[in-house]
Amino acid sequence: MPRSATGICNSTVSRAGGLTLVEVLVVVLIGAILTGVALVRFQPFDAAAGPADEIARLIARLEHACDQALLTGNPRGLEFLPDGYRFRVLEADGWREARTNEAAAARSWPPGFQARVQVDGAATVPGRESGVPQIVCTGVEAPVPFMLELRDSNSAQRLQWP
């Protein structure tokens, strides 16, 4: 039996119990994606929802899009439209509308809502059918900062991202 300077050498190598950092990160990422999908899919639509509810939906969808960008390697973009927003996916032939699931579907603001958008500190006028998103999420780099102010006749809510 082999001996070492400190005593008998055990030839079997055993791995210490526990998880590696990569395993933990994968589990956290999967959990975040499932939470985002569940929030978007199972959240009941309320026609009387206010700006805060609409912003919460947008945040959940945006986080889901960023997670998808990280998992697939295809950047996702958020394009603000005059009456709502939609998500886009960057592919070899350019930006196309994301239609993979309900979370990425285009969404219109409820009737009576007004939106004001600033991208990277500059006021932005959302254009119809421009085809190029104002916000891009790669999943690796932080997206361009933007501010969205959403208001209806009763209240207003502001989102600063990221």
Q: What is the mean pLDDT of each run of 10 residues along the chain (162 residues)?
A: 61 69 90 80 61 90 89 90 90 84 77 90 75 87 89 91 83
pTM reported for the whole predicted model: 0.67
User: Is-contact 144 119, C-beta < 8 A?
Assistant: yes
* Burial zone of 25 (CB within 10 Å; 0-12 exposed, 13-18 middle, 19+ buried): exposed
User: Which residues lie below 8 Å from residue 47, measured CB to CB, with a gap of 6+?
Assistant: 110
Would you state the structure tokens that stand for residue 50, as one six-digit string?
A: 């206010």
Domains along the chain with CATH numbers: 20-161 (3.55.40.10)
Pairing assessment for the beta strands 135-137 and 76-81 based on DSSP bridges: antiparallel
Query: For 61, phi and psi rounded to 5 degrees?
Result: -70, -40
Find out whether 89 and 96 touch, Cβ atoms under 8 Å. yes
Residue 75 has a pLDDT of 93
- Pick from 56, 106, 101, 52: nearest CA to 84: 106
Return the pLDDT at 98: 82
- Both tokens of 160, joined, read 């600063």
Residue 106 is predicted with a pLDDT of: 82
